[in-house]
């Protein structure tokens, strides 16, 4: 990680942390993290992509990582994250970019692509594909104990997380999200209780990694993270006069998923990937990693890096 520079960009009165590596004259690649991640999650990919001849930029969203926390975290929106991204790219004089998004970073990436198609060279998402609003609405039909529904409830996650320090919360979420089962708590159980205190970390996630995440969330807390994505999940963000039946992205696109990713087990997901998604992303290729979890880029970095580089080199501008 020594080669990675850590800079700050002033956006809307906030200092946003941006990790960077690679020559400023090279084609740019923008990495969006998910939850409970921060830009550090891309540590394996950033150096490999930069070494292959690209300029790599990985911001922490407002309220995440080393970025400032907004004055009212509960009012943060997906639209804010997309606007922040546009300002960051302008400040770095980047006019065209490949977008790579993991987890809800995929949603940020696709919304960005919808608003700024002229800036998009191509898009790769991991764990979560493009999902139209009606598919996101469908998630609300899952049981009451479904983790997203629980975390959407004001105060519920705050009380659940508040029983533990930040390190324990991140530890439990990493273990929980590494499993293939969709996280659903019973009526008298909280989401954090789904993971025993004695449960081991995944073999590919070290105590040092955990310490890095813990230090970040000790600083930021979880309020912004609960707001975006979970409490903003049904927010409609699209340009004026957008045709909902038109393709979202016509640029080259790649979706990478682990077959043991719990998101892959969501009702209707497998069928959607087979027969529904290309209506929205016609030039999409899908790659499945048989043993891959929700954190496939950390679990199998070399495999994921090769897929990323094959796509980036094939579509280099």
Query: Which are the catalytic amino acids?
Result: 103, 230, 294
List the strands of the sheet with 28-32, edge to edge. 5-11, 14-21, 55-59, 28-32, 97-102, 120-126, 253-258, 284-289
Rg (CA), the chain: 18
Q: How many CA atoms lie within 13 A of 250 on its CB side?
A: 5
Could you tell me if 176 and 148 are in contact, meaning their C-beta atoms sit under 8 angstroms apart?
A: no
Count of all residues that appear for the chain in the document: 317
DSSP codes joined into one string, 218-258: HHH-SHHHHHTTGGGTT-----TT--TTS-S--S-EEEEEE
- Positive or negative, the CA dihedral 282, 285, 290, 295 is negative
For residue 59, what is the enclosing H or E element? strand 55-59
285 with 255: CB under 8 angstroms? yes
Query: What is the enclosing helix (H) or strand (E) of 265?
Result: none
Neighbours of 271 (CB within 10 A): 9
Distances 28 to 49, 190, 192 between C-alpha atoms, Å: 10, 42, 38
């Amino acid at each position: 990680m020594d080669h990675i520079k850590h800079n700050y960009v002033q956006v809307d009165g906030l200092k946003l942390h941006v990790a960077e590596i690679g020559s400023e004259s090279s084609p740019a690649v923008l990495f969006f993290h998910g939850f409970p991640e921060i830009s550090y999650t891309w540590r394996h990919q950033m150096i490999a992509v930069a070494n292959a001849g690209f300029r790599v930029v990985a911001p922490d969203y407002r309220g995440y990582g080393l970025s400032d926390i907004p004055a009212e975290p509960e009012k943060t929106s997906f639209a804010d994250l997309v606007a922040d991204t546009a300002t960051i790219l302008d400040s770095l004089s980047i006019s065209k970019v490949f977008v790579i998004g993991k987890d809800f970073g995929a949603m940020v990436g696709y919304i960005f692509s919808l608003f700024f198609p002229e800036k998009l060279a191509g898009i790769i998402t991991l764990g979560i594909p493009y999902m139209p609003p009606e598919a996101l609405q469908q998630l609300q039909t899952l049981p009451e104990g479904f983790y997203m529904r629980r975390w959407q409830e004001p105060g519920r996650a705050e009380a659940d997380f508040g029983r533990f320090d930040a390190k324990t919360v991140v530890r439990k979420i990493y273990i929980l999200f590494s499993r293939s089962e969709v996280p659903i708590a019973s009526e008298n159980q909280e989401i954090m209780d789904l993971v025993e205190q004695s449960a081991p970390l995944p073999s590919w996630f070290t105590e040092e990694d955990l310490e890095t995440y813990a230090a970040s969330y000790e600083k930021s807390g979880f309020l912004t993270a609960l707001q975006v994505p979970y409490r903003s999940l049904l927010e409609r963000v699209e340009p004026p006069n957008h045709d909902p039946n038109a393709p979202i992205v016509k640029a080259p696109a790649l979706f990478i998923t682990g077959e043991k990713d719990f998101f892959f087990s969501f009702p209707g997901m497998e069928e959607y990937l087979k027969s529904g998604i290309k209506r929205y992303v016609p030039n999409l290729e899908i790659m499945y990693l048989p043993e891959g979890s929700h954190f496939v880029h950390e679990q199998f970095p070399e495999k994921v890096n090769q897929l990323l580089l094959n796509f980036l080199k094939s579509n280099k501008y």
